[in-house]
Amino acid sequence: MEIERVQLQMHGDHGGMLIALEQDINVPFVIRRVYYIFATERDVHRGKHAHRHLRQLAVAVRGSVTILLDDGSGPVRVVLDDPSQGLLLGDMVWRELYDFSDDCVLMVLADHLYDPADYITDYDTFLREVKGVTYPTELVAC
């Protein structure tokens, strides 16, 4: 699982909709953290990083956001604008979030606690690591 869109089952009863997110049922990882992004300023770009070891499920529970994703094979653009659509992200996926609607609330479930050391914030470093490029010691020594 690197990048996958998932349809979440809706329970439409009592005149409204309900979606349940359950570990190992429709969330394929241990849920250790939930955070949400809201009140995002117009024209802001967030993200611009990858994680070495983090699985996440993102849901725009309100409004919409565009997410540019890159697992090293080139950028893919995904629009989240439906609370019944989830986006699963695995390790080593570069992401940039932009075009937030004023009312956007983006909820994210994650399988690890917040760890700044897990972030890769430089795109070239990300590309080197995701492509497994290593430099021979004799070249580094030169």
Q: Which residues bind ligand TYD (CB under 6 A)?
A: 33, 35, 37, 46-47, 49, 114
Give CA–CA dist 118/100, Å, rounded: 25
Q: Helix (H, G, I), strand (E, B), or coil: what is residue 69?
A: strand
Instruction: Establish whether 51 is a catalytic residue.
Output: no
- Please give the span between the terminal C-alpha atoms of the chain, in angstroms, as a whole number: 39
CB 17 within 8 Å of CB 8: no
Q: Nearer to ligand TYD by C-beta: 33 or 52?
A: 33
Query: Which entry of 14, 45, 49, 112 is annotated as an active-site residue?
Result: 49
Q: How far is the CB of 24 from ligand TYD (least distance, A)?
A: 22
Q: Which residues pair with 80 in a beta bridge?
A: 65
Whose structure tokens read 């849901």?
Answer: 59
Q: Nearer to ligand TYD by C-beta: 118 or 129?
A: 118
Q: Tell me phi and psi for residue 39, to 5 degrees.
A: 55, 40
Q: Nearer to ligand TYD by C-beta: 18 or 76?
A: 76
One-letter identity of residue 19: I
Q: Which residues are designated catalytic?
A: 49
